[in-house]
Amino acid sequence: MFEVAELGNKISSEEYDKEESRLREELLQLQQDLRLAKFPVIVVFAGVDGAGKGETVNRLSSWMDPRWLVTNAYSDPSDEESERPEFWRYWRDLPPKGQIGMFLSAWYSKPVVDHAWGRIGTPEFDEQLARIQGFEKELAADGALIIKFWMHLGKSQQKKRLKKLENDPHQAWRVTDNDWRNWKNYDGFIRTAERTILNTSSGENAWTIVEGEQSRYREITVARHIRDAVRQHLKTWDIEQKVVAEALKKRAEEKQEKDSQIVDPKQVQIVPAPTRTILSTLDMTQQLERPDYKTQLKKQQSRLNRLYREAKARGISSMLVFEGWDAAGKGGAIRRLTAAMDSRDYRVLPFAAPTDEENAHHYLWRFWRHLSRAGKVSIFDRSWYGRVLVERIEGFARNHEWQRAYAEINSFEEQLVEHGIVLMKYWVHITPEEQLERFGEREKIPYKRWKLTDGDWRNRAQWGAYEMAVHEMIERTSTRNAPWTLVEGNNKYFARVKIIESYCKQLEKTLGINANDKDD
């Protein structure tokens, strides 16, 4: 079965670069289409240790929009999990419709390992596979698109790969004693793997076996497959349902309408802030040139990678809050940040309008419910500060509500910090002129156009009111324990590096690491 995946397939670095930029664009566009769709996408990665499951997931995550994508990996069940049936933990992690969930080994892990090591016999193994197949069929019948990759390596390839990882100081942590024990049992593992694939492949939920030796090859192969599968599913599932078809049609019409009566950006009047604010003290001319940026970004990402893994090992969580003007570059900064981390370890949480369950609670409840377990990084793309920004300006919160929010937020953050969580709060700042330019760019690039809404123009008109609100927010909530980091964002390169660097500094402080110890 696996011979097809030991052919030594390779992709040249030129071909890779070309494909990569195209695939990134296509995947981002697909994620937007998917958001209108009424089905979730579930991507499962299983296979041989060292075949690059985790790395592939990380690479894909860095290409896609992390706000509509979650990676789930599983170690031993928590006590709350073991008190429920085995599949409870998977059910609770299923992505909602319109989003993508990546699952590392997940429900395959325990049966495969148990069988490969002879801890369960074949009849019991088959029963467990039947349950898995039932689970996947059920989700597929409900519309879910399930894509399964089996990452393969030959026996000698695996050995080579594990050795190579071990010799790389940045990667060595990936290889455990367990991996070597598994390698010695390679043939048993492959027998189990074959049975797994045979018993859990049905028309809709088939496995794709991917040759894991070359990272370029496996990344492109997996990304292409996901792209094609999502496209196909959008056509067959949702067109049948007529949901996306209509939504896409409507969007096209709106776009046309917009194009025909396009607002002249220069006609949107900005009402400036009545007084000088703290934002006006920022030196907005700071910048980094591209070559310098490339070097510094790499350096800071590598520093971050080391630090966040140390924090994870010590069970220290981080929460990073991103606030800023529309088009200030929050999304891009978040992607540069997550690129330095394993996608199993972070979660990007975008906050727009609350759900009806959230509306039935105190406004902080929706943030409390997303606090992560120990050692994880949570990135809040917009946050509880909405209370004193958009809710204040737009009148969604009444005066006494947003006024008391400062104290409520301080108390909330105090509890986070006291618990040992590293809390970073970024205000990404740009000037109105820079924003205007970026809005113009967005209208030109098709796959960025969805980002620009009428709301953005409306917010822009109220620049001064927002600026006063930001000023007051910083004044009232930049506490010793939870200070704001103001980021000069007119130059994206400068902003991205500043964000990662400041997070690194805070991690070093918390971990008690002297910055001078670093080796790069």
CA 232 from chain center: how many Å? 24
374 binds its own copies (CB under 8 A): yes
Residue 31 host element (H or E): helix 13-36
Minimum CB distance to its own copies, residue 239 (Å) = 16
Q: Which stretch binds its own copies (CB under 8 A): 189-197, 205-213, 248-256, 356-364?
A: 356-364
Q: Which stretch binds its own copies (CB under 8 A): 3-11, 77-85, 191-199, 509-517?
A: 77-85
Phi, psi of 357 (to 5 degrees): -65, -35
Contact of 320 with 424, CB cutoff 8 Å: yes
Minimum CB distance to its own copies, residue 233 (Å) = 16
Which residue in 333, 337, 331 sits closest to 301, CA to CA?
Answer: 337
Which residue in 179, 174, 193 sits closest to 108, CA to CA?
Answer: 193
Nearer to its own copies, 266 or 373 (CB): 373
Q: Which stretch binds its own copies (CB under 8 A): 86-94, 214-222, 228-236, 284-292?
A: 86-94
357 binds its own copies (CB under 8 A): yes
416 binds its own copies (CB under 8 A): yes
Nearer to its own copies, 268 or 417 (CB): 417
Tokens for 237, please give them: 């599932």
Q: Count residues near its own copies (CB under 8 A).
A: 51
Contact of 321 with 425, CB cutoff 8 Å: yes
408 binds its own copies (CB under 8 A): yes
Q: Which stretch binds its own copies (CB under 8 A): 78-86, 105-113, 118-126, 177-185?
A: 78-86
The site string for its own copies over 111-140 (x = CB under 8 A, - otherwise) reads --------------------x--xx--xx-
Minimum CB distance to its own copies, residue 144 (Å) = 7
Residue whose entry in the numeric block shows the structure tokens 């409870």: 88
C-beta atoms surrounding 4 within 10 Å: 10
Own/partner long-range contacts of 110-113 (Cβ < 8 Å, ≥24 apart) = 110/86, 111/196, 112/46, 112/189, 112/192, 112/193, 112/196
Q: Which strands sit side by side in the sheet containing 207-211, from one edge to the other?
A: 69-73, 100-104, 41-47, 145-152, 207-211
Own/partner long-range contacts of 201-204 (Cβ < 8 Å, ≥24 apart) = 202/133, 202/136, 202/137, 204/137, 204/140, 204/146
Q: Which stretch binds its own copies (CB under 8 A): 53-61, 81-89, 172-180, 483-491?
A: 81-89
Q: Cα–Cα distance between 507 and 424 in angstroms, integer?
A: 10
Nearer to its own copies, 81 or 456 (CB): 81
> SS3 helix, strand, coil % of the chain, rounded to 5?
60, 10, 30
97 binds its own copies (CB under 8 A): yes
368 binds its own copies (CB under 8 A): yes
262 binds its own copies (CB under 8 A): no
Residue from 18, 255, 361, 509 touching its own copies (CB under 8 A): that is 361
DSSP state for residue 74 in the 8-state scheme:
-
CA 201 from chain center: how many Å? 28
Nearer to its own copies, 102 or 222 (CB): 102
Minimum CB distance to its own copies, residue 400 (Å) = 8
371 binds its own copies (CB under 8 A): yes
356 binds its own copies (CB under 8 A): yes
Minimum CB distance to its own copies, residue 264 (Å) = 37
Contact of 405 with 477, CB cutoff 8 Å: no
Which 37-56 residues touch its own copies, going by CB under 8 A? 40
88 binds its own copies (CB under 8 A): yes
Minimum CB distance to its own copies, residue 321 (Å) = 16
480 binds its own copies (CB under 8 A): no
Phi, psi of 71 (to 5 degrees): -105, 135
Which 135-154 residues touch its own copies, going by CB under 8 A? 135, 138-139, 141-142, 144
Nearer to its own copies, 151 or 423 (CB): 423
Please give the C-alpha separations between residue 502 and each of 129, 240, 301, 486, in angstroms, as whole numbers: 47, 49, 12, 10
Minimum CB distance to its own copies, residue 366 (Å) = 10
Minimum CB distance to its own copies, residue 458 (Å) = 25
CA-CA-CA-CA torsion sign (72, 74, 80, 85): positive
Residues contributing to the site for its own copies (CB under 8 A): 40, 78-80, 83-88, 91-92, 94, 96-98, 131, 134-135, 138-139, 141-142, 144, 315, 317, 355-357, 360-365, 368-369, 371, 373-374, 400-401, 404, 407-408, 411, 415-416, 418-419, 421
